[in-house]
Amino acid sequence: MENPGSGDDTRGWGPPFAQPETGGRESTYFLSANRNKESIALDLKDDADREVLTTLLRRADVLMENFRPGTLARLGFGTDVLAVLNPRLVVLSISGFGHDGPEGGRAGYDQIAQGEAGLMSLTGSDPDDPQRVGVPIADLLAGMYGAYGVLAALVEKERTGRGQVVRTSLLAAIVGVHAFQGTAWTVAGQVGRAQGNHHPSIAPYGLFRCKGGSVQLSCGSESLWRRLCAEFGLDPETPGMATNAERVGDRQRVIELLEDAFAHHPAEELLARLAAAGIPAGRVRTIDEVYTWGQTLSQGLLVDVEHDTLGRLRLPGPSAALLHPRPGRRDRDHPP
């Protein structure tokens, strides 16, 4: 649902725009967020448009809204009204910082949420270099958590016949992915800090320079550490490096040791040797390299679609694949 006249703000979030040579002002940002959707423009302060929304709500399964808390109620569509219009309706409400609490009314923008929710303090080269994640991760995660909640509410509706309200926020979404950084504080009282491209709890695990480039590798177990050392002629029992805890405590020394060993080897050679030794490793690809990579293409992560006004477009494909097992079907995951 978009604003009459101007449409959704993200239509103008560019460049880049689709078909700029023809004067088109459809941003690729808007296309990324609105795949496979039909759009309608409504002014909820207009009685006729309010009636259109009322008609839609009476037969809808789900309503998703991201107004500031209280706005929908002021427009005449509070949760009590929605429950009367459609008792089976599931309402997903996404806010910036929550629907109540001392700062519940704040507007929500992704980068502000990344900072306020602690993610930027964990991202960057060091504690004095906080960095945002390169995509609107708070926005994306809030949508994903909202979808989880909606699916659970739909399952319950099938049992009880009643809808309900699902709430999440940009703040909740980021806190929800603090993972080990969250428990490091809540359990151990340790405050995580940005430390570049190396894992705070595992070593070696990160980005390492080599001849003319870099590689990433992960030694998530002691057996992998020993394999790595054997491949490059290092002693895994070197004092201060025999256990993961010791290596984490002296991470810079581990980095220097490996980068010295890698200094005369180009990335392609290193990756081949690491693969042969069974060490998880990889490169850092640019976006264009990802979308031309055979593995990406093999997973259906690019799709060609027909757009009503822009014609044929190539877009990132869905991340989840749904398969219907058939009797007698032989899959790679289920060999005979």
Full 3-state SS string of 27-71: EHHHHHHCCCCCCCECCCCCHHHHHHHHHHHHHCCEEEECCCCCH
| 8 Å CB contact between 167 and 176 | no
* Residue 316 φ/ψ, nearest 5 degrees: -60, 140
Superfamily of domain 205-282 in the CATH hierarchy: formyl-coa transferase, domain 3 (3.30.1540.10)
Superfamily of domain 42-175 in the CATH hierarchy: Crotonobetainyl-coa:carnitine coa-transferase; domain 1 (3.40.50.10540)
Average pLDDT of the chain is 94
Can 42-175 and 205-282 be said to share one CATH topology? no
- Residues 1 and 149: their CA atoms lie apart, in Å, by 21
pLDDT of residue 308: 86
Q: Which of 8, 110, 139, 308 does the annotation list as catalytic?
A: 139
Identify whether 139 is a catalytic site residue: yes
The candidate with the shortest Cα–Cα distance to 153, out of 91, 235, 95, is 91
| 8 Å CB contact between 296 and 290 | yes
Sequence ranges of the domains in the chain: 42-175, 205-282
Query: Quick check: 333 pLDDT over 60?
Result: no
- Residues 238 and 247: their CA atoms lie apart, in Å, by 10
pLDDT of residue 23: 67
pLDDT of residue 323: 87
- Residues 117 and 178: their CA atoms lie apart, in Å, by 9
pLDDT of residue 336: 41
Q: Is 250 exposed, middle or buried (0-12, 13-18, 19+ CB in 10 A)?
A: middle
Place of tokens 């877009």: 315
Query: Quick check: 334 pLDDT over 60?
Result: no
For residue 45 the two structure tokens come to 């302060």
For residue 177 the two structure tokens come to 């992915």
- Residues 48 and 209: their CA atoms lie apart, in Å, by 63
Query: Quick check: 335 pLDDT over 50?
Result: no
- pLDDT tens for 25-49 read 789 999 999 988 899 999 999 999 9
- pLDDT tens for 85-141 read 999 999 999 999 999 999 998 999 999 999 999 999 999 999 999 999 999 999 999
Helix (H, G, I), strand (E, B) or coil at 252: helix
